Structure 1
Amino acid sequence: MARDGGGVDNLPPLRSNGRFRLLWGGSALSVMAERSSTMAFTLLVLWHTGSKSAAGLVGFAALLPMLVMQLPAGVLVDRWDRRRVMLVCVAGRALAIGSVAVSLAGDEVRVWHIAAVAFVQGSLTVFYQLSERAAVRGVVPPQQVSTAMAQNEARSRAVNFVGHPASGVMFGLSAWVPFLSSTGLYLMSLLTLTRLRIPAQRSGPGKSARGLREEISSGLRWVWQRAFFRSALLVIAGSNLVFQGLILTVAVLVREQGRPASTVGLIMAAGSIGGLLGAFTGGWLSRRLPMRRVMIYAHVAWAVIMPGTVFLLHPVTLGILFFITSHIGAAVTVSGMSHQVRITPDAMQGRVGSVVMLLVSGASSIGALGTGYLLEGFGTRGTLAIASGVMALLAVVATVVFTRPGAELEDRSAQEEASGHQRELTAGPPPP
């Protein structure tokens, strides 16, 4: 696992970095809007139609962009001005979510409309996330990348803690309220990000002359040639699929128990608290443990915890389980993001980031769609048992893959690669 470069203790804290504060704060508002509306989509379809498969379809539409938009988005983010991309994405999402608020104010609930808006918001979120992650290296020193990533992950988990229960409470007032609130948050994010200035990214050799397909292929090749990195992404993709299904299953379970929609938000909030603490743990881990050990420890721990969801179905116990699993998940996310940002050349941040997100998050769309049909066929308890079995298999795979001969050598090679990119950034931009 690559560590941050030396001298971090001599640098001013990130809280004194004005550009990072603007990026962090504007993105916090954007993430709050996105998470609140996504939760409201699920509640809206479940409580107004009662159809588990329809809820799975909307969840699939929201996450499908992770599968189909990542690779072209990665190329375009490397070509376009990253600040401008973020501004356009925030404005577009505000318009899309605002259309749902207007529709619901007229007491109209159309599943096709909700699914279409979920897809649009998810697509623009893909572009935004890739741009924001790539922009981090332009606003913080290389030695503070892990700290910045930990703070970004902590921001997302803290937003979940507030956004999920707030969305449930607002939905209880009226179905259109969380969507109107999300629209306002997007507009506030837009105003904040207009003040942000990001240095232009480095250009790769011959980039302007290369076609979209060739640039996508270059990002795929870059990841595929690193067996250790590739294996970690595939294992994480499997665990993300399981957790996406777990979220939908819990929402269905709460409805079957006759509890209010706000209960779902509270369970998710418990997970967000665990994730918030895990984000800071991840920053610590990324500086002290190699990535291969983080992968093994995390998946074994998840495999031990997951069977509890089959038998402990009270909201309080589910909240505790979500707290623990999210704590581990956030730590893995921070470690993985820091690892990827450090080992990737600046000119390829968008493309490599898109491949990473395709693998680790694209599977979530399949998880949402598949879980809807599993719930119809096997019920909540059966679906949770299947998820637990898949997680146990992933733990075995992670243990075998990351203890094999050569894994340590590949991990060390990644550290050396990251050190080279840090020296490149410290040297400053190339001469004109």
Structure 2
Amino acid sequence: MTKNLSRRPLTGQLVAHLVSVLGTSMSALAIPWLVLTSTGSATRTGLIAFAELAPYVAMQALGGPLVDRIGARRAYVLGNAAAAVAVCAIPGLYVIGLLPSGALAALVAVAGALRGVADCAGQVLVPGAAGLGAVPLERAAGLNGSANQTGLFVGAAAAGVMVSALGAPAVVLVDGITFALAAALVALLVPTAAQPQRSQRRLSTRQYAADLAEGARFIRTDRLLLVLVAMIAVTNLLDQGINAVLVPVWIREHLHQPRALGLIAGALGAGALIGALTAAWLGPKLPRRVVFTIGTLVAGAPLSLVLALTGTLPPALTAAFVAGLAVGGLNPILHAVLYERVPPQLRARTLGAIKASAWIGTPIGPLLAGGLIEATGLRTTLLTFAAIFLVATTAVLTLPAMRDMNRLRPQPDATRAAGNEAGSEPASPTLRTVAGTEHGETRAADG
């Protein structure tokens, strides 16, 4: 296998992820707009959004044992292909007048559940595809994050234009086509060797529960993963409160310009994309713990603090861009750590559970922000969020478990050759923690 051919699986997975996120980002605007213009009900719009999101999050957490039996590659292809059918049915039924709210809720719920399984499988394919091309994990994670940010950024912008020009049903149809295209790309470009070996155990109800418990137990017994899961849940809660409530209220009180909301979101998105691309380029050469510490401190408290201390747009845009840079640089490190520490046979159920855990606090963030604003005012709430961010992240960064972010070094007798055989587990040497070793001295372990 040539060097270029060996990297084709990772390229295929990344392009598939980009296409899928692009369509999802477009439908995130188009489906609510379709409901709102059809019914005029904000309540129904919210219910439809919930009907899609709840199954998606649930299947991220619960789909791991299913992915283990089906195989990550097949689960990704079948999940996205079936989701394409469900999503494409929405504009088809709408055009012929057979899309009541109940049918729409059922279709988006089915699509959300299928996408949850497919995305759970996609997380497993990234490190496997990287192993086939000898791509360092930070680079693969950074490129995957860049694909995600590009899809979100371009999809949101394209959706606004396309909904105006073509109508919401046409945009939903495009979303369905992107799922089908993502399935085709992985089917054609990502080999079976990019996935862990499929579990041969019979999937009874008892075994299903045991598999889920095994993934949860692995997280509980790995002190670094446990710390990171807790930190991500807290910071996502705070981020959601800032983005969904605090920034819009700040704009209303100080600028009275709705377009500023798009500018700040664009600055965050652009910074995150640049940060992810930079991490993909430089990540394998940088000390993880140092970069993670700086990024964590910069990504959280400063934006809230700047908003609390200023009432003009330029400082807010600068702070948002810098925060985006930090977030974009953090995610590749987080994912590289997860890929390294979670054994291939546990990745589907463990990574899915971790991703679902990251969403747990997001509904609470806006409620907390709104309640504090009502009780104390905007400025005090922004300072409170900044303080919570600073205390939470500083406390985590000082924990002894964070020393385990050092890269893992393969045992001397490990071999990568077996990983390139068709149908076998790619490049998955036995790993051990290099306690007390500086990150720069262990870069060779990432291949």
Q: Do they fold alike, i.e. is TM over 0.5?
A: yes
Q: Which residue of 1 aligns with 2:169?
A: 176
Give the superposition deviation at 1:219.
0.5
Moved more, 25-34 or 340-349: 25-34
Q: Distance in 2 between matches of 1:51 and 1:57?
A: 10
Give the superposition deviation at 1:169.
1.7
Q: Are residues 280 and 233 of structure 1, via their aligned partners in 2, closer, same or farther at CA, if it must alter by over 3 Å? A: same
Q: Which has the larger radius of gyration?
A: 2
Is 2:401 the partner of 1:407? yes
Moved more, 340-349 or 60-69: 60-69
Is 2:212 the partner of 1:216? yes
> In the alignment, which of 233, 238, 248 is matched to residue 237 of structure 1?
233
The answer as to whether partners of 2:212 and 2:349 remain within 8 angstroms in 1 is yes
The answer as to whether partners of 2:67 and 2:117 remain within 8 angstroms in 1 is yes
Q: Which residue of 2 aligns with 1:72?
A: 62
> In the alignment, which of 358, 361, 375 is matched to residue 360 of structure 1?
358
Q: Which residue of 2 aligns with 1:281?
A: 278
Q: Are residues 55 and 247 of structure 1, via their aligned partners in 2, closer, same or farther at CA, if it must alter by over 3 Å? A: farther
Q: Which residue of 2 aligns with 1:346?
A: 344
The answer as to whether partners of 2:245 and 2:370 remain within 8 angstroms in 1 is yes
Give the superposition deviation at 1:145.
2.3
Is 2:322 the partner of 1:324? yes
Q: Distance in 2 between matches of 1:75 and 1:382?
A: 47
- Aligned counterparts, 1:18-33, within 5 A: 18-33=8-23
Q: Which residue of 2 aligns with 1:131?
A: 121
> In the alignment, which of 182, 197, 215 is matched to residue 202 of structure 1?
197
Q: Which residue of 2 aligns with 1:6?
A: none
Name the % identity: 21
Q: Distance in 2 between matches of 1:155 and 1:171?
A: 23
Q: Distance in 2 between matches of 1:245 and 1:424?
A: 47
Query: Which amino acid is the alignment partner of residue 69 of structure 1?
Result: M
The answer as to whether partners of 2:139 and 2:284 remain within 8 angstroms in 1 is no
Is 2:164 the partner of 1:164? no
Q: Are residues 204 and 52 of structure 1, via their aligned partners in 2, closer, same or farther at CA, if it must alter by over 3 Å? A: same
- Aligned counterparts, 1:133-148, within 5 A: 133-141=123-131, 143-148=135-140
Query: Which amino acid is the alignment partner of residue 396 of structure 1?
Result: V
Give the superposition deviation at 1:40.
2.8
Give the superposition deviation at 1:343.
1.4
TM-superposition CA deviations, 1:107-142 (whole Å, max 9, x none): 898665555444333322221222122112332325
Give the superposition deviation at 1:27.
2.3
- Aligned counterparts, 1:379-394, within 5 A: 386=381, 389-390=384-385, 392-394=387-389
> In the alignment, which of 269, 272, 294 is matched to residue 272 of structure 1?
269
Q: Which residue of 2 aligns with 1:190?
A: 183
Is 2:391 the partner of 1:396? yes
Q: Distance in 2 between matches of 1:422 and 1:255?
A: 62
**How many correspondences in the alignment?**
409
Query: Which amino acid is the alignment partner of residue 403 of structure 1?
Result: T
Moved more, 188-197 or 272-281: 188-197
Residue 217 of structure 2 aligns to a residue in which SS? helix
Q: Distance in 2 between matches of 1:165 and 1:77?
A: 33
TM-superposition CA deviations, 1:205-248 (whole Å, max 9, x none): 96878700111111011111112221111111122233334444
Query: Which amino acid is the alignment partner of residue 274 of structure 1?
Result: G
Q: Which residue of 1 aligns with 2:84?
A: 94
Q: Are residues 297 and 225 of structure 1, via their aligned partners in 2, closer, same or farther at CA, if it must alter by over 3 Å? A: same
The answer as to whether partners of 1:157 and 1:275 remain within 8 angstroms in 2 is yes
Q: Are residues 361 and 376 of structure 1, via their aligned partners in 2, closer, same or farther at CA, if it must alter by over 3 Å? A: closer
Q: Are residues 292 and 192 of structure 1, via their aligned partners in 2, closer, same or farther at CA, if it must alter by over 3 Å? A: same
Question: RMSD value over aligned CA atoms?
Answer: 4.1
Q: Distance in 2 between matches of 1:333 and 1:282?
A: 9
Q: Are residues 389 and 376 of structure 1, via their aligned partners in 2, closer, same or farther at CA, if it must alter by over 3 Å? A: closer
> In the alignment, which of 409, 416, 419 is matched to residue 410 of structure 2?
419
Q: Distance in 2 between matches of 1:153 and 1:126?
A: 18
The answer as to whether partners of 1:240 and 1:363 remain within 8 angstroms in 2 is yes
Q: Which residue of 2 aligns with 1:333?
A: 331
Q: Distance in 2 between matches of 1:166 and 1:172?
A: 10
Q: Distance in 1 between matches of 2:155 and 2:287?
A: 32
TM-score (norm 1): 0.78
Q: Are residues 303 and 62 of structure 1, via their aligned partners in 2, closer, same or farther at CA, if it must alter by over 3 Å? A: farther
The answer as to whether partners of 1:161 and 1:270 remain within 8 angstroms in 2 is no
Residue 65 of structure 2 aligns to a residue in which SS? helix
Q: Distance in 2 between matches of 1:32 and 1:192?
A: 15
- Aligned counterparts, 1:40-79, within 5 A: 40-44=30-34, 56-65=46-55, 67-79=57-69
The answer as to whether partners of 1:37 and 1:178 remain within 8 angstroms in 2 is yes
The answer as to whether partners of 1:52 and 1:375 remain within 8 angstroms in 2 is no
Q: Distance in 2 between matches of 1:294 and 1:172?
A: 41
Q: Are residues 206 and 122 of structure 1, via their aligned partners in 2, closer, same or farther at CA, if it must alter by over 3 Å? A: closer
Residue 363 of structure 1 aligns to a residue in which SS? coil
Query: Which amino acid is the alignment partner of residue 63 of structure 1?
Result: L
Moved more, 246-255 or 329-338: 246-255
The answer as to whether partners of 2:303 and 2:320 remain within 8 angstroms in 1 is no
Moved more, 74-83 or 198-207: 198-207
Query: Which amino acid is the alignment partner of residue 242 of structure 1?
Result: L
Give the superposition deviation at 1:153.
0.8
TM-superposition CA deviations, 1:390-430 (whole Å, max 9, x none): 453133122123213x3355445xx44x6359946555458
The answer as to whether partners of 2:302 and 2:319 remain within 8 angstroms in 1 is no
Q: Are residues 334 and 409 of structure 1, via their aligned partners in 2, closer, same or farther at CA, if it must alter by over 3 Å? A: closer
The answer as to whether partners of 1:249 and 1:383 remain within 8 angstroms in 2 is no
Q: Are residues 398 and 145 of structure 1, via their aligned partners in 2, closer, same or farther at CA, if it must alter by over 3 Å? A: same
Q: Which residue of 2 aligns with 1:228?
A: 224
Structure 2 residue ranges without an equivalent (≥5) = 426-447
Give the superposition deviation at 1:92.
2.3
